[in-house]
Structure 1
Amino acid sequence: RGRRTKMNNLFSSIEQTLKHAEKYLGDICSLLAAYTRKTAKLRDKADLLVVQLFDFSRTEDPELQISLKNLAEDLAMVQDYRQAQVERLETRVVAPLKAYGDIVKNKRVRLNKDNLSTDLNKELKELQKLDKLRVRNPADRQSIVSFIMAGSRCLSLGIWTLL
């Protein structure tokens, strides 16, 4: 009985881990992608501001023109760093998180493909039947052995060795 409970707990633990990973990694990836997009939009707006500053500087007197050009150049340098930030976020943060999402999906598919839950439930029901048979007639070894032989599928999976 204890081993069946451990198997059940293990399976539910795997399912719970996958469920949490799907939820939280998906949320984190979405938020980071949104953050990256907003940073890129901010960079684009600042680039427009740089263009406006250069245009405005052409219409002003030489002293203000130099100041506006310096401001525009400094702002352009900041945007170069912002561009590097966007690229790093996309390549070093968002892309690896997407890969983890694919890994979790593959694990989920594999878990469902192997039908571990269905097989485990069938095997647990068979083990429960065997336990009931043992409780009812503990001295009737022939019935117990014939039940085990009938459940040869479980035997081939090695589940009976857990008893």
Structure 2
Amino acid sequence: MNAVLARDSQVKIMEKTVANAEKYFGRFCSLMASYTRKAAKLRDKSDLLVKQLIDYANTESPELRNTMKSFAEELAKVQDYRQAEIERLDTRVVEPLKLYGIQLKQIQTELKRFNSTRSNEIKQLKKLVRLRQKAPLDRQVIAQAESSMHRAMADTSYTSKRLEETFDCFQRKKLKDVQRIFSDFVAVEMIFHAKALEVYSAAFQSLHSYDSGKDMEDFRAKIRATSGDYNPHPVHTTSPSPSLPRSLGGQRQPCCEDMTLKDLKDLKEHAPLRQLWPQQPSRAHRSQGDSPMQHLPAGLPLATLCIHL
């Protein structure tokens, strides 16, 4: 009877072990599979971001275009490392956790077989006790009951020993697998993040080295080209006007009192008088084909000349 009670305690411990493993390993498997799927979705979204960055870069100025394309290439490298991370997680973490579902079902089958043989043992033991109470003198019936009980005890002992070995192997494997699976998980994540950190550092340097001044110059040049060659800040020059002789544009012109008739005739050869004086002499003061300057002396001052004209 004590052996039966001892086996009951063993069965309870085994059943609790199986129940905990089934509960938590099932959750681990579900969560790690969801984790891997989330990483795959993040990879897909990042691939779309890379495509949009390249499309945007093709619309920008040369410096920004090169910078954005370089950034997109670095981001694409991160997604390559993320793809390797996903494959490793699926192989080293998710798949081993899935296998525990099959192993736990096999152990549950062993437990059911053991419970069946143990129930048969308890049944034969109770039958023997009852026969000894009812017919203590019927040796043949009691002998048959004892024989059945011994066979049931032997079956239970064999099944119990087999179950202990199975559970011993399962527990040892479970403890090592927990260590290995989550160590692999951490190693995969460390490798990914180490590689991603290197690539992100290069991407950061590429963005940080971007100089917007060249693109602004290019943008302003395009704006000026579309609006014409108008310069809002003209440069003032001291060169003489091309419409006048160099002596008129580059030197101070003599005043009217200093000029003689000879100077006036020389000035007339270069520009009409209407450009020098705002008002012309009236037609009434000169006759057709005759000029008043023809009858004036050569050394007459310009002031006197203006009075005659």
Distance in 2 of aligned mates of 1:133 and 1:117: 24
Greater Cα radius of gyration, structure 1 or 2:
2
Match of 2:84 in 1: 84
Tell me the number of residue pairs that the alignment of Structure 1 and Structure 2 aligns. Answer: 155
Distance 1:133 1:75, change over 3 A: same
2:22 is aligned with 1:22: yes
Alignment counterpart, residue 123 of structure 1, candidates 110, 121, 124:
121
Offset at residue 151 of structure 1 (A): 3.4
**What's the secondary structure of 2:60's corresponding residue?**
coil
Distance in 1 of aligned mates of 2:117 and 2:42: 53
Structure 2 gap segments, 5+ residues each: 158-309
Amino acid at match of 2:124: E
Alignment of 1:117-156 (within 5 A): 117-128=115-126, 130=128, 142=139, 145=143, 147-151=145-149, 153-154=151-152
Alignment of 1:50-129 (within 5 A): 50-112=50-112, 115-128=113-126
Identity across aligned pairs (percent)?
44
Match of 1:49 in 2: 49
Distance in 2 of aligned mates of 1:22 and 1:2: 30
Deviates further, 84-93 or 14-23: 14-23
Distance in 1 of aligned mates of 2:92 and 2:8: 38
Moved over 4 A (4+): 128-134, 139-146
Structure 1 gap segments, 5+ residues each: none
Match of 2:190 in 1: none
Which has the higher relative contact order, 1 or 2, with Cα contacts under 8 A spaced 6 or more apart?
Answer: 1
Distance 1:75 1:126, change over 3 A: same
Distance in 2 of aligned mates of 1:13 and 1:140: 41
Distance in 1 of aligned mates of 2:37 and 2:145: 63
**What's the secondary structure of 1:60's corresponding residue?**
coil
Offset at residue 107 of structure 1 (A): 2.2
Offset at residue 130 of structure 1 (A): 4.5
Deviations 1:27-84 (A, max 9, x none): 1000000000000000110010000000000000001101111110111111111111
**What's the secondary structure of 2:49's corresponding residue?**
helix
Distance in 1 of aligned mates of 2:147 and 2:95: 52
Distance in 2 of aligned mates of 1:107 and 1:84: 34
Deviations 1:101-136 (A, max 9, x none): 211122223433xx32122123124334546777x6
